């Protein structure tokens, strides 16, 4: 049985004070849930969030990292920095990073390997553009992304990776994929992982859906057999809305 995981991706939003208030506001509301709760925030917020989340089950995550541990990479953040402040997750290969910051399947793979090496759990994002969906090449696209991302990942680590299927056309558009369409692609992603490893690994990997998830559609999405969670942007920015997602 896979444990559901609801993760907020705050993108370039929120201040330290707002993040602390947010955590205080959701503390009570997440007590007793078996849903894993993760907040992925801008780097400068993470340490204070970790402190604010002490004594709760809230996990803290970053939204990116470099694939080298240290070196002359001005402006970058390494896995060691994330470890030092107690981050537990890191989003890797978000489509916004692929689109605006020249992230490639190769850099995604290197980051994934580095995060795993240091015990930070990657949330690996994959997904197709609208043109690719309309051309019928969704599965081809995600297959390539998944295969390249997992290259060199050992079977014992592969099961720990969280994958987020985020169709690019559904991100921030208010136009979510239907839950059955999302489930179809996610089931397919699981079959790719089975092909790369084994059914034992593929049954363990948690696969989220992301793209315009909100309190109104989360239950239907989470009811799908292969969908184990959600990676949420806009609807994760308000405590009340986020709580509705966690308590779907
Ligand atoms: P929205 O939930 O705002 O569509 O964003 C999805 C996303 O990109 C999460 O990583």
Q: Which domains does the chain have, with CATH numbers?
A: 5-246 (3.20.20.70)
- Mean pLDDT score of the chain, rounded to an integer? 97
Which mutation among 123, 207, 213 tests ligand 1's pocket best, with the greatest number of atoms within 8 A of CB? 213
Q: Which residues line ligand 1 (CB under 6 A)?
A: 9, 94, 166, 171-172, 210-213, 231-235
Ligand 1: residue whose CA is nearest its atom 1: 233
Going from the Cα of 170 to the center of ligand 1, the distance in angstroms, rounded, reads 8
- Active-site hit among 103, 132, 166, 224: 166
In whole angstroms, give the CA distance from residue 239 to residue 200: 36
Active site residue 13: no
Residues of the chain predicted below pLDDT 70: none
Which mutation among 210, 230, 244 tests ligand 1's pocket best, with the greatest number of atoms within 8 A of CB? 210
- Active-site hit among 36, 66, 81, 94: 94
Q: What are the φ/ψ torsions at residue 111 (nearest 5 degrees)?
A: -65, -40
Please write the tens of the pLDDT for every residue from 119-171.
Answer: 999 999 999 999 999 999 999 999 999 999 999 999 999 999 999 999 999 99
Ligand 1: residue whose CA is nearest its atom 5: 233
Cβ atoms of residues 69 and 79 within 8 Å: yes
Instruction: Evaluate if pTM is beyond 0.75.
Output: yes
Nearest CA-CA partner of 103 in 71, 64, 55, 73: 64
Nearest CA-CA partner of 37 in 202, 233, 231, 204: 231
What is the rounded radius of gyration, in angstroms, for the C-alpha atoms of the chain? 17
Active site residue 94: yes
Which mutation among 6, 7, 10, 11 tests ligand 1's pocket best, with the greatest number of atoms within 8 A of CB? 11
Burial of 80 (0-12, 13-18, 19+ CB in 10 A): middle
Give the three-state DSSP class for 80.
helix
Cβ atoms of residues 79 and 107 within 8 Å: no
Cβ atoms of residues 123 and 164 within 8 Å: yes
Helix axes 138-149, 179-196, angle to 10 degrees: 40
Give the three-state DSSP class for 137.
coil
In ligand 1, the atom with minimum distance to the C-alpha of 231 is: 9
């Amino acid at each position: 049985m896979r444990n559901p995981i609801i993760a907020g991706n705050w993108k370039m939003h929120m201040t330290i004070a707002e993040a602390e208030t947010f955590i205080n506001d959701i503390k009570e509301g997440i007590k007793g849930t078996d849903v894993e709760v993760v907040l992925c925030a801008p780097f400068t917020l993470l340490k204070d969030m970790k402190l604010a989340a002490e004594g709760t089950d809230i996990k803290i995550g970053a939204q990116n990292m470099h694939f080298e541990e240290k070196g002359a990479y001005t402006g970058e953040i390494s896995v060691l920095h994330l470890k030092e402040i107690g981050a537990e997750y890191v989003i890797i290969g978000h489509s916004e990073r692929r689109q605006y910051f020249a992230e490639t399947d190769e850099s995604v793979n290197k980051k994934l390997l580095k995060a795993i090496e240091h015990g930070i759990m990657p949330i690996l994002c994959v997904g197709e553009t609208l043109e690719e969906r309309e051309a019928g090449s969704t599965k081809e696209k995600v297959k390539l992304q998944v295969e390249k991302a997992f290259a060199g990942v050992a079977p014992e680590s592969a099961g720990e990776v969280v994958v987020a299927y985020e169709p690019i056309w559904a991100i921030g558009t208010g136009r979510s994929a239907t839950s059955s369409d999302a489930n179809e692609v996610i089931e397919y992603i699981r079959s790719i992982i089975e092909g790369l490893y084994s059914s034992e690994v593929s049954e363990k990997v948690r696969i989220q859906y992301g793209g315009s998830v909100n309190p109104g559609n989360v239950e239907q999405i989470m009811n799908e057999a292969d969908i184990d969670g959600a990676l949420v942007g806009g609807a994760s920015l308000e405590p009340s809305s986020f709580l509705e997602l966690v308590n779907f």
